[in-house]
Amino acid sequence: MKIFETISRSKTWRLVRGAALVVLLVAAGGAAALVASRLPKKNAELADGGAQAKKGDRFTRPDRDTLVGTAELVKRIGIKTGQAAIPDKPMTLPPFQGCLALDNERLTRIHSRFAGEVVLVSPIDDSGAVPSRRPLRVGDAVNEKQLLAIVWCKDLGEKKSELVDALSHLHTDEETLHRLEALYKENGTSERSLREQERNVEADRIAAERAERTLRSWRLTDKEINAVRDEADRIRKHESSKTPPEDWAKVEVRAWQSGVILEKNITLGDIVDTTMDLFKVGDLSRLAVWAHVYEEDLELLKDVGKLAPLSITLPSRPDHAYKGELEQIGPVIDPNQHTALVKGHVDNSAKELKIGQFVTVTVELKPRDGEVVVPTDAVVEDGQESVVFVQPNDKEPRFVRRSVQVKRRFHDFIYLKAGSGVSPNDLVVTSGALLLHDAMDDVPIGNK
């Protein structure tokens, strides 16, 4: 009995499984029929021998590169055309990432001309809750030639004193020489005494010039050297000195340009030398832009001989663009990132941009001569060539395939070499070019 039950169950299982397979096949057939009924009919319209072909509503191919259809067929499959144009607007390159930096050409390092002790850091008004005077600090704005600090240098004081001493000896010896010359004319002195005094005057003159040249080599101005000469005259005339003792050996440290103090390395009482950067002052009205451009995009920038316009946007303000110019393309490719470093600058007169900010950089290139621009969809590429379909007469649904030479590709437009298949004002297919390209394989040549 168990054997019969087993056989019965197995037969029942086979019947159930067979019925299920039949149901699945029927369902699959229905789905296929439904999908087939909803498929686009454009391929059928393009192919030869379909229902539309019997009505004459299909493409014909009189020669290798020409397709001729009907107005109804062109409308139904959505073919549209537009004019190829001469580029008259700047080409906007794909954006790339970069950062803002200080322009080194607008950075000055302030040194002291002489080693010595810092006796003053210039105070400024602090416009806080309680107005007060405080020393200069990082972030303060300064003007060109503004006094930043004073250094007390004993060497400077000694060299000034040497010039005063040399001038005093020179003046005394010159008076003595004048008296000896008068006596010599009256035979009141010997020629030897006169000649010795002339040598003394000459030695004093050399000493004074040496002391003055030393001060000038230390970049003292004419005004400062004339002040030393005036001091020597007052001492000779036994007049009171007009130069305060604290000013005799002081060295004024002034700003070379207007800008912002970016670095301050001194405090009151520091001993400094001539190689130390006391301050760093940067002009932030223009910032440098450093960006990394991928190697394959350098071809688009290789003709940048003059300044090319650029704009930058900040992550925090993507809707606001800051204008600038591209200046230089680096000569080295990073072997890891395969990028080149490009440099530009951006206007920061409003002081809204900060050094070190990450930015998105967009470069605009002037259109080149000998090119035409068409929409991206107008160019069909099959890996071997790039082609465009041209409609010679806008009144006739006749389309000619032409090979073209692509110069540059962008998101919305492609730039072609003029005369390589398309000329300015030619009507090119901007929608449906891929369908026409496929039809070239479906429609035989000479099809009537």
The CATH number for 405's domain is 2.40.420.20
Distance of CA 97 to the CA centre of its chain: 11
| Secondary structure class of 351 (helix, strand, coil) | coil
pLDDT of residue 30: 47
Beta strand ranges found along 191-297 (DSSP E): 250-254, 259-264, 271-272, 279-282, 286-294
Q: 316 and 378 share a domain?
A: no
Q: 240 and 225 share a domain?
A: yes
Stretch (H or E) spanning 430 = strand 427-431
pLDDT of residue 110: 93
Look up residue 209 and give its two tokens.
Answer: 């010039």
């390589």: which residue's tokens?
A: 420
Stretch (H or E) spanning 347 = strand 339-347
Q: 79 and 99 share a domain?
A: no
**Residue after which a domain boundary falls, among 365, 394, 411:** 365
CB atoms within 10 A of CB 351: 10
pLDDT of residue 244: 64
Specify if 414 maps to a domain: yes
Specify if 128 maps to a domain: no
Q: 381 and 340 share a domain?
A: no
Specify if 83 maps to a domain: yes
pLDDT of residue 246: 64
**Residue after which a domain boundary falls, among 331, 365, 399:** 365
Specify if 402 maps to a domain: yes
Contact status, residue 312 vs residue 322, Cβ threshold 8 Å:
yes
Q: 341 and 374 share a domain?
A: no
Domain residues for 206?
Answer: 154-248
Stretch (H or E) spanning 41 = none
Q: 100 and 76 share a domain?
A: no
Q: 358 and 379 share a domain?
A: no
Contact status, residue 154 vs residue 170, Cβ threshold 8 Å:
no
**Residue after which a domain boundary falls, among 199, 233, 248:** 248
Q: What is the b/e burial string over 294-306, where b = at least 16 CB atoms within 10 angstroms of the residue's CB? A: eeeeeebbeebee
Q: 417 and 433 share a domain?
A: yes
418: which strand partners? none
On whether the pTM is more than 0.75, the answer is no
Count of domains for the chain: 3
Contact status, residue 435 vs residue 79, Cβ threshold 8 Å:
yes
User: The CATH number of the domain where 324 resides is what?
Assistant: 2.40.30.170
Q: 381 and 360 share a domain?
A: no
Helices (H) and strands (E) in the chain, counts: 10, 27
Specify if 326 maps to a domain: yes
The CA distances from residue 348 to 35, 159, 272, 320, 322, in Å, are 61, 45, 34, 13, 8
Specify if 120 maps to a domain: no
Contact status, residue 437 vs residue 443, Cβ threshold 8 Å:
no
Residues in the chain predicted with pLDDT less than 70, given as ranges, are 1-57, 127-131, 240-246, 302-307, 447-448
Specify if 112 maps to a domain: no
Specify if 27 maps to a domain: no
Q: 163 and 231 share a domain?
A: yes
CA nearest to 362, candidates 96, 34, 159, 66: 96
């002339």: which residue's tokens?
A: 198
Stretch (H or E) spanning 312 = strand 308-314
Q: 160 and 233 share a domain?
A: yes
Q: 429 and 361 share a domain?
A: no
